[in-house]
A and B are shown apart, each in its own frame.
Chain A
Amino acid sequence: MTTESTTKVEGGGDIPAAPAAGPIPANPPKRRRGGRWTFDKVSFMAVFLGVPLIIYLGLVIYPFIQAVHYSFTNWRGFEPISQADYVWFDNYIYLFNDPKFMQALGNNILLAIFLPLITIILALVLAIVITMGGPSHGNVRGIKGAGFYRVVSFFPYVIPGIVIGFMWRLLLDPSAGFVNGILTAIGLEQFENFAWLGDARTAMPVSMFVIIWGFVGFYMLLFIAAIKAVPAEIYEAVRIDGAGRFVTAVRVTVPLIRDNIQTAYIYMGIMAMDAFIYMSALNPRGGPQFTTLVMSQELFNTAFGGNNLWGRASAMGVVLAGVTLAFAAVVFLVNRLTGGKDTVKY
C-alpha cells in the first residue's frame, strides 16, 4: 500500500515541477491554474492554439455562416450581396417542394446507404484474406502473394476521381466500349449498344460500382493497418482455442478494429453525400430520368446553370451539410447502441 502511494506522489511531482518538490501541498490552486504566463507558454498557445483557431474560424466557420446567410436571400451572385433581398425560408420551402431536388436527395441517401456498406464489407474481406487468410499452421499470415494484391488493389485510389469517371465512361461506351465488347464476344448479344449509363435501371448501380471500385483498395489498406496493430498473441490464443478463420475474423478481428470501421463508414458516407466528381464525369446531366443526379450537382446547376440562383444554391449547400451531419450522427448512434462504447480491449 505505502509503496504504491509513494511512487504515485513521486511520479506526479516529478513531471510538472521537479525543483519545487517541497511546496506541493502548500499552494495547489495556483498550480491548477497553470502558473505564470511565460513567453514560452504564450507563444506556444499562440502558435498551436491561436493560429489554427483563427484559420478554422476564418476558413471553416465563417464561410458556413456566410452560406447560411446567403441561403436566406435571393442573391443572384453577380451583384454585391447588399443588393439582394431577404426571402427567409422561401428557398428552403422551394427545395422541399421541388421534385428534382428531392430526387437528388433520395439518390444521395441511396449512395449513403449502399456505398459505405458494400465498400467496407468488400474492403474488410480483402483485408482479412490478405492478413490472415494464409495456411492454418505456423504464424497467422495472409495468403500467398498478399503483398502483390495489396499494392495492386491500391492502384485505383491513386487515380484521380475525375479520371476514374472518364475512364469508366469510355469502358462502358455502348458501341465502342470494352465492357460491351467482352459481353457481346462471349455471346450475350443483347448487350450490343446497351447504354449502361443511359438506362434508368442500370445507371445508378453501375455508378455505384465505379465509385466502389475506386475506393475499396484504400479502405482495404486502412483495415490491413488496423489488423496488423492487433497483437499476434491474440490470434495465436484464438487458434489454440480451436477457432476457424471465419470465426476469428467475425468474432475477434471485427470487434477489435471496430473504431476503424466506424471512421471508414463516416468517411465513405461523407463521400457518398458529395459524389460530385464521379457523378458528373459518368453522367454529366444527371443520368437517365435523373436517376444519378446528386445534390451537389443540382447545387452546381442552380448556381451556374443559366439562372444563377445563388441564394437557392446556398440553401442546397446548407441542406447538404445538414444531411451529412445527420448521417454521421446516425452512424455514431448505431455504433453506440450496438455496443460500440464498451470497446473490446487487448
Chain B
Amino acid sequence: MSYSLQRRGFLKGALAAGALVPLAACAGGGDPEETPTDAATTEETTSQETTSEETAPTDSNNPFGLEVPSEVEAIIFNGGYGIAYAEFAGGIVEKTHDGVTVSVSPTTQVAQELQPRFTGGNPPDVIDNAGAGKIGLGAIVDQLEDLNEVVDAPNLEGTPIRDTLYAGALEPGIVSGKQVALNYVLTVFGLWYSASLFEENGWTPPKTWDEALELGAKAKEAGKYLFLWGLEAADYYGEMAITSAIKEGGHEVRTALDNLEPDCWSHPAIQDVLTKIKECVDNGYFKPGGSGTQFTAAQASWSNAQEALLYPSGAWIENEMKEQTAEDFQMTGTPVPTVSTSSALPFEAIHSAADEPYIVPSQGANVAGGKEFMRAMLSQEAAANFAETILSPTIVKDTIPEDAFGSTALASQISMLGGAGDDIFTWRFNAYYGMGPDHVQAWNSFLDGQLDVAAMTQALQDVTDRVANDDAIEKYDPVQ
C-alpha cells in the first residue's frame, strides 16, 4: 500500500513539473555518490525548459520550472522565530508567480506531524525541520532534494544565491556530500550581559576564566550570582564549555568531539574549562536550584530580575526574552572566555552556525514549488524582512543596516562576527546524533554540584561512546 502511494506521489511530482526530468533528478538525488555539479544542474534546467511546453516562464524568474497555477505547501516550525517571516516569503512567491498559492502552516512537532506523510509518500513541499521534535536528517537523507540547484539559481534580484551567502553557511546542511538542508538563520553564540548594569558597577565582561572568577566574587559582593541556568537549557553551558575549549586547544578539540573519538572529553583544554566551571560552582557563583527551574523562568531572573550577571546562549535570547527584559537592559553579547591568554584561537573567535534547516522532500507534490519558496526566502527582500522583524541575521549577507535597527544585541552580533574574522567555527555531533537530552542531564548534575570534573567527563564520554558504538545510527563522514 505504501508503495502505490509512493508511486502516486512521484507521479504527482512529475505532473507538477510538467516533464519527466524531475523524475530523473529524484533518482539521481538519491545516489550519494552522484552530486550534481553546477554544469549538470544548468543542463537539467535547460533541457527541462525546452521539453516542457506547458510551463510558460522559461526565464531566470522561474529556474525550477514551477507550474502555474499550482499550490505550494510549507510546514514551518513555530518556535522563537514564529512563522510570519515564512508567510512573508510565501507572499513573495505568490506575487512573483501569479496563480501560485502558498500555504504556510505552523507546527511545533515536526517529526510527529510529518512521519505519516513521509511514510505515505506525500510529504509537504518544503519543511522548516527545527525544534526539539525535528526529524533526524540521517533518517530521511535519501528522501531529500539536493538543494545545490537552489543555491546555484539566481535570487529574485538576479545575483546567484551562492554569492549572497555568508561563508560556511551551507556546510551544516551537507550530509554525505549532498546539500540536503539550507540552514536559514545565522546564530551567533556568546555570553550575554546587560551593558547598562556592567557600566553602572564598573564591571567588564571576562576574557579569561580567571577574570570570570574575579567577576564572580564581585557579583557576590553585590548580592548577585555570576551565572544561572534552567533545567531544559542546562546544555547552554555545554555549548559555552565546548566553545571555550576549542578556542583554548584549537580545532583538534572540535574534530575529536565531532568524530566521536574515544576519550575526546579528556582533552586537556576541555578538562581545564570544566575545572574552571567547577570552581565557579564550588564558589557559589551559580544560582542554586537551576536543575528544578523551568528555563524561561530562569532566564527571566537573569534578564528581568537581574539576579545573575552572565548567561551563555545563542543570539535568539533577545527575541525569546523580549517581553521579560528589564528596561534599559542593553543586552549585549561577548565572546566566551578562554582559559589562558595564550590560547590557540584568539579570544575574539566565536561559535556561529547557520540553523533552522529547511528541507525539500523529493516526493513532495510540488518539488519545484518547494525550491521556489526557498529562492524567495533567500531573496534580499525576505532576508531583510527577517533581520528587521526577528532582529537576527540570516545566512544572506548585507541585510542589516549600520544602526542594527536600534538593537544592542544585534549590533553586538555583527561586531562579534566582524571581530572574529575567519575564526568562526561550529560543530554538529550533539545536534546530529540527538545527544541534547543526555547532555542536558549531565550539565544539570554538574552545575548542581552533584558531579565532580572526573564524573562529568565520564558522563559526557558515555554519551559519546553510546552513539559511537551504536551500529543502528549511521555516522556522518569524518569532520576535518
Residue A74 contacts which of B121, B232, B472 (CB distance < 8 angstroms)?
B472
Most buried by A among B138, B293, B433, B436: B293
Stretch of B82-90, B181-189, B384-392, B437-445 lying at the A interface: B437-445
A130 within 8 A of B: no
8 Å CB interface, B396-416 against A: none
- Closest chain-A Cβ to B237's Cβ sits at a distance in Å of 14
Asked whether A312 lies within 8 Å of B2 as measured between CB atoms, the reply is no
Asked whether B136 lies within 8 Å of A195 as measured between CB atoms, the reply is no
Residue A173 contacts which of B292, B434, B437, B445 (CB distance < 8 angstroms)?
B292
A309 within 8 A of B: yes
B231 within 8 A of A: yes
Asked whether A307 lies within 8 Å of B292 as measured between CB atoms, the reply is no
For B289, the chain A residues whose CB sits under 8 A away are 174-175, 193-195, 198
B204 within 8 A of A: no
Asked whether B445 lies within 8 Å of A200 as measured between CB atoms, the reply is yes
Contact A79 B440, CB 8 Å, known A288-B450, A306-B134: no
For B3, the chain A residues whose CB sits under 8 A away are 80, 82
Asked whether B448 lies within 8 Å of A77 as measured between CB atoms, the reply is no
A290 within 8 A of B: yes
Contact A301 B448, CB 8 Å, known A79-B143, A173-B292, A198-B289: no
A172 within 8 A of B: yes
Contact A306 B433, CB 8 Å, known A195-B293, A195-B448: yes
Interface size on B, residues (CB 8 A): 48
Expressed in whole angstroms, the Cα–Cα distance for A175 and B445 within the complex equals 18
8 Å CB interface, B91-145 against A: 109, 111-112, 115, 118-119, 121, 133-136, 138-140, 142-143
Asked whether B437 lies within 8 Å of A197 as measured between CB atoms, the reply is no
Residue A195 contacts which of B111, B139, B292, B441 (CB distance < 8 angstroms)?
B292
Contact A78 B139, CB 8 Å, known A193-B287, A200-B450: yes
Residue B135 contacts which of A98, A285, A308 (CB distance < 8 angstroms)?
A308
Expressed in whole angstroms, the Cα–Cα distance for A284 and B143 within the complex equals 31
Type the 1/0 row for B275-296, where 1 means its CB is closer than 8 Å to any CB of A: 0000000000001111111100
Residue B111 contacts which of A283, A285, A288, A308 (CB distance < 8 angstroms)?
A308
Asked whether B136 lies within 8 Å of A308 as measured between CB atoms, the reply is yes
For A305, the chain B residues whose CB sits under 8 A away are 434, 436-437
Expressed in whole angstroms, the Cα–Cα distance for A312 and B473 within the complex equals 11
Most buried by A among B133, B289, B297: B289
Expressed in whole angstroms, the Cα–Cα distance for A100 and B463 within the complex equals 10
Asked whether B118 lies within 8 Å of A196 as measured between CB atoms, the reply is no
For A79, the chain B residues whose CB sits under 8 A away are 118-119, 140, 142-143
8 Å CB interface, B157-187 against A: none
Contact A173 B118, CB 8 Å, known A285-B441, A286-B441, A289-B450: no
A113 within 8 A of B: no
For A308, the chain B residues whose CB sits under 8 A away are 111, 135-136, 138-139
For A194, the chain B residues whose CB sits under 8 A away are 288-289, 292
B431 within 8 A of A: yes
For B142, the chain A residues whose CB sits under 8 A away are 79
A304 within 8 A of B: yes
8 Å CB interface, B290-338 against A: 290-294, 297, 301
- Closest chain-A Cβ to B381's Cβ sits at a distance in Å of 33
Asked whether A285 lies within 8 Å of B440 as measured between CB atoms, the reply is yes
Asked whether A301 lies within 8 Å of B437 as measured between CB atoms, the reply is yes
Asked whether A78 lies within 8 Å of B440 as measured between CB atoms, the reply is no
- Closest chain-B Cβ to A27's Cβ sits at a distance in Å of 51
What secondary structure prevails in chain B residues at the interface with A? helix
Asked whether B135 lies within 8 Å of A198 as measured between CB atoms, the reply is no
Type the 1/0 row for A112-136, where 1 means its CB is closer than 8 Å to any CB of B: 0000000000000000000000000
B42 within 8 A of A: no
For B301, the chain A residues whose CB sits under 8 A away are 175
Asked whether A307 lies within 8 Å of B139 as measured between CB atoms, the reply is yes
A14 within 8 A of B: no
B6 within 8 A of A: yes
Residue B2 contacts which of A82, A175, A196, A197 (CB distance < 8 angstroms)?
A82
Interface size on A, residues (CB 8 A): 46
For B112, the chain A residues whose CB sits under 8 A away are 304
What secondary structure prevails in chain A residues at the interface with B? loop
Expressed in whole angstroms, the Cα–Cα distance for A82 and B133 within the complex equals 25
Residue A307 contacts which of B119, B133, B291, B434 (CB distance < 8 angstroms)?
B434
8 Å CB interface, B437-480 against A: 437, 440-441, 444-445, 448, 450, 466, 470, 472-473
A149 within 8 A of B: no
Residue A288 contacts which of B2, B134, B288, B444 (CB distance < 8 angstroms)?
B444
8 Å CB interface, A43-84 against B: 74, 76-82
Closest A-chain residue to B436, C-beta based?
A: A306
Contact A199 B440, CB 8 Å, known A78-B139, A289-B450, A307-B138: no
Asked whether A289 lies within 8 Å of B292 as measured between CB atoms, the reply is no
Asked whether B2 lies within 8 Å of A80 as measured between CB atoms, the reply is yes
A169 within 8 A of B: yes
Asked whether B437 lies within 8 Å of A196 as measured between CB atoms, the reply is no
- Closest chain-A Cβ to B356's Cβ sits at a distance in Å of 16
Expressed in whole angstroms, the Cα–Cα distance for A89 and B468 within the complex equals 20
Closest B-chain residue to A305, C-beta based?
A: B434
Expressed in whole angstroms, the Cα–Cα distance for A198 and B289 within the complex equals 7
8 Å CB interface, B264-281 against A: none
For A283, the chain B residues whose CB sits under 8 A away are 231
Asked whether B290 lies within 8 Å of A195 as measured between CB atoms, the reply is yes
Contact A196 B292, CB 8 Å, known A80-B119, A306-B434: yes
Expressed in whole angstroms, the Cα–Cα distance for A30 and B329 within the complex equals 91
- Closest chain-B Cβ to A201's Cβ sits at a distance in Å of 10
Expressed in whole angstroms, the Cα–Cα distance for A98 and B473 within the complex equals 15
A267 within 8 A of B: no
- Closest chain-A Cβ to B10's Cβ sits at a distance in Å of 12
For A286, the chain B residues whose CB sits under 8 A away are 437, 441
Residue B472 contacts which of A77, A94, A176, A306 (CB distance < 8 angstroms)?
A94
Asked whether B139 lies within 8 Å of A285 as measured between CB atoms, the reply is no
Contact A199 B292, CB 8 Å, known A79-B118, A94-B472, A290-B441: yes
Most buried by B among A193, A303, A312: A193
Closest A-chain residue to B234, C-beta based?
A: A285
For A289, the chain B residues whose CB sits under 8 A away are 441, 445, 450
Asked whether A199 lies within 8 Å of B448 as measured between CB atoms, the reply is yes
Residue B119 contacts which of A81, A170, A196, A285 (CB distance < 8 angstroms)?
A81
Asked whether A81 lies within 8 Å of B293 as measured between CB atoms, the reply is no
For B433, the chain A residues whose CB sits under 8 A away are 306-307
Expressed in whole angstroms, the Cα–Cα distance for A38 and B63 within the complex equals 70
For B133, the chain A residues whose CB sits under 8 A away are 304
Expressed in whole angstroms, the Cα–Cα distance for A90 and B473 within the complex equals 13
Expressed in whole angstroms, the Cα–Cα distance for A91 and B470 within the complex equals 11
Expressed in whole angstroms, the Cα–Cα distance for A299 and B258 within the complex equals 26
- Closest chain-A Cβ to B376's Cβ sits at a distance in Å of 26
- Closest chain-A Cβ to B229's Cβ sits at a distance in Å of 10
For A100, the chain B residues whose CB sits under 8 A away are 466
Expressed in whole angstroms, the Cα–Cα distance for A304 and B436 within the complex equals 12
- Closest chain-A Cβ to B11's Cβ sits at a distance in Å of 16
Task: Sample 6 A-B pairs with CB under 8 A, ordered by A number.
Answer: A77-B139, A78-B139, A174-B290, A285-B444, A307-B434, A312-B472
Which 7 pairs, one residue from A and one from B, show the smallest C-beta to C-beta distance?
Answer: A306-B434, A174-B289, A198-B291, A195-B292, A198-B292, A193-B289, A308-B139
6 other A-B residue contacts (CB within 8 Å) besides A77-B118, A79-B119, A284-B231: A174-B288, A195-B290, A198-B448, A285-B437, A288-B445, A311-B472
